[in-house]
Structure 1
Amino acid sequence: MKQPDNLFEKNHFLSNNSLMFVNRFTEDFNVPYHAHDFIEYCYVAEGTGFHHIEQETFPIHKGQLYVIPIGVSHVFRPSTPGRSSKPPIVYNCLFDMQLATLLSGLQEQPIQEHLSSLGGNTSSYFSVFDRVGEIERIMIQLNKEMNTNAIGSQAMLHALLSQLIVTVYRLKYGDNGRGAAEEETTGFHQVIDYVEQNFHTTVTLDELSRISGWSARHLQRLFTQHTGQSFGSFLQNVRIQRSCEMLRSTTHKVSYIAEQVGYRSIDSFNEAFKKTVGLTPTAFRKSL
């Protein structure tokens, strides 16, 4: 695992009273790649760009929420250094493990174990998609209470944080902690795994339909529900994500990388890459 150049410490961000901090931040190229000694929930409210987490790079868009456990390294970046793209605006909710332990005492055992894993280096980062805007509403209210500092704000902050934790947990694991429509959710995760393992081939909805037993139309609904994207957009983002990693970590020619991630035409690769990243593959490599 790549070691971060910076460790963001809770003493710099969190007050002794609330043990948490919330802000609304326009991401740029000034914040360094970093880890932190607190748990962080990051919600993408506007704009586009990339989220670099450990050794992976993810295209980001409105509605995504990332859960970053203690010790995990990450940073958000706009698509381009200039003003040609709209930078991502992210709500950040940070809280100390001491507060997580306090709140977990009010929750059922599965959520207690979930929070404990986020603070004990036993859980990986993950993301969920805010399909109905519920997370955004909580984040807006959290940010408002953080800046109001009115009577009862601390109690409101803790109550809203508890609501956020439960909402994200349900989106990740289902209402009962084991998965609403568990069989379908598990099956769709297997579809996602198949796409991520075979993105370099000609993956089609018809092929996924044969593998999963679901119709192409139902698969499209599942992709929208679970990822916030159509199947075509999801596949393209996976391919561009892998190509970014290869452009950053290898000296292979662009044409070779295009072929390795599933594009048979260098022109179609360049077009898709620029549409997603905002730069051509060559310009992206030079910017690194």
Structure 2
Amino acid sequence: MKKPSPRVERGEQFFSDGLSLYVNRVFEEFELPEHEHDFIEICYVWEGNGFHYIEDHTIRVKKGDLFFLPIGVSHIFRPSAHHPKDPLIIGNCIFDEKIFRFLTSILPVEYGLYLFEHINAKTDRFIQMRELSGEFGHLFESLHKEFQQKHMGYETMLCGLLLQLLIGMERALNREQEIVDPVTEKVEKINRYIRGHLQEKITLTAIAQHIGLGERQLQRIVSIHTGRSLSTLIQKERIDRSCRLLSDPSLASLTIADIASRVGIHDLTRFHYLFKLWMNNTPARYRLEKALQSSLL
């Protein structure tokens, strides 16, 4: 028998006063059916234990577990029993894609802040992690308190706390990678340094000193694990960033020269050459095609 489609929960059921961000704390029971939603959700296991059913996965959960659920992922929490000794209490922070994009993409690009990698790259599937010493719980307490009390400036405070939570999640994912593969983590550190300094002149010496490696060792690691030279890797990151900027409708007022400057290429002729080399297209044509694609969605 075909599995029935999950119920769709919509942000308009929760969002109000022009703020597309909502925080609650709920005691999970068996009445609520499996559902998906048109917003992004971060769920935190506040107390108790039970199960989290996500798509085709059944995951045993306990206090300190945290989940990032992108749009369209079906899920439901269930306590371990109908009348558990310790109830399963879940904190939910839900927000729309615009807020997520502003915090993880627009802010970093506009002001040279930390560029999200793991969460941005994995928005097509759920992410699971655990806190080390209550760091997610403290943030959820603050989020819930701000949302309930609604003091002056609470909207801005909520966005700031959400940004802290997202950074904390990135750090947790980085810790997991470091435990699994130290060499891969070094490659990630190299990539993070490059992405964080694209507007500047990036040198082999500066990266090596930042990572704590010798210059030859760094070049060898990059060559073995990426199949590219360091200079080629930097080129690719600059063109990848320029593609994101050119695709962003909120940055349509920027000229091609502005885009080139933002990725650290100040010679416009060279930027056109490198863009054509990597993308087999001109920057202007690429921007137009992306704008047409966006208008058809």
Measured after TM superposition, the shift of residue 153 of structure 1 is 0.5
Task: State the partner residue of 2:181.
Answer: 183
Matched, 1:95 2:95: yes
Q: 1:56: Cα distance to partner?
A: 1.2
Aligned residues: percent identity? 34
Task: Determine whether 1:136 maps to 2:137.
Answer: yes
Q: Post-superposition shift, 1:111?
A: 1.2
* Distance in structure 2 (CA, Å) of the matches to 1:62 and 1:186: 30
Question: What are the residue-to-residue correspondences of 1:116-127 with 2, within 5 Å?
Answer: 117-118=122-123, 123-127=124-128
- CA drift of 1:86 comes to 2.1
CA positional deviation for 1:137: 0.4
Deviation at 1:72, TM superposition (A): 0.4
The answer as to 2:120 corresponding to 1:115 is yes
Contact in 2 for aligned 1:50/1:77 (Cα 8 Å): yes
Contact 2:51 2:78 in 1 (8 A): yes
Runs (5+) with no aligned partner, structure 1: 188-288
The answer to whether the aligner puts 1:162 opposite 2:163 as a matched pair is yes
Q: Which amino acid aligns with 1:139?
A: F
Distance 1:113 1:2 in 2: 31
Helix, strand or coil for the counterpart of 1:93? strand
Per the alignment, residue 64 of structure 2 pairs with 63
Structure 1 residues 89 and 124 mapped into 2: Cα distance closer, same or farther (>3 Å)? Answer: same
Give yes or no for contact 1:48–1:59 (8 Å, CA) kept in 2.
Answer: yes
Cα distance between partner residues in 2 of 1:147 and 1:115: 29
Runs of 5+ consecutive residues of structure 2 not aligned to the other structure: 186-297
1 or 2 for the larger relative contact order (CA 8 Å, sep ≥6)? 1
In the alignment, what sits opposite 2:148?
147
1:55 & 1:106 partners in 2: Cα distance?
A: 35
* Contact kept in structure 2, 1:103 and 1:162, CA below 8 Å: yes
Equivalent pair of 1:4/1:35 in contact (CA under 8 Å): no
Give the whole-Å Cα distance in 2 for the aligned partners of 1:16 and 1:99: 15
CA contact (8 A) 2:118 2:170 kept: no
Residue of structure 1 equivalent to 2:76:
75
Distance across 2 between alignment mates of 1:4 and 1:143: 31
Counterparts of 1:12-91 in structure 2, within 5 Å, are: 12-81=13-82, 83-91=83-91
Measure the CA separation in 1 of the matches of 2:183 and 2:134: 20
Distance in 2 of aligned mates of 1:10 and 1:47 = 27
Structure 1 counterpart of 2:193: none
| Worse-matched range after superposition: 136-145 or 7-16 | 7-16
Mapped to 2, the partners of 1:113 and 1:78 lie a distance apart of 29
Asked if 2 retains the 8 angstrom alpha-carbon contact of 1:4 and 1:73, the reply is no
Deviates more, 1:43-52 or 1:8-17: 8-17
SS of the equivalent of 1:128 reads strand
TM-score of the superposed pair, with normalisation by structure 2: 0.55
Cα deviation digits, residues 213-236 of structure 1 (max 9, x gap): xxxxxxxxxxxxxxxxxxxxxxxx
Q: How many residues align?
A: 179
User: Which has the higher Rg, Structure 1 or Structure 2?
Assistant: 2
Are the aligned partners of 2:66 and 2:131 in contact in 1 as well (CA < 8 Å)?
A: yes
Shift of 1:182: 6.2
In structure 2, give the amino acid aligned to 1:73.
S
Cα distance, 1:185–1:91 mapped onto 2, change above 3 Å: farther
Q: Distance in 2 between matches of 1:185 and 1:89?
A: 39
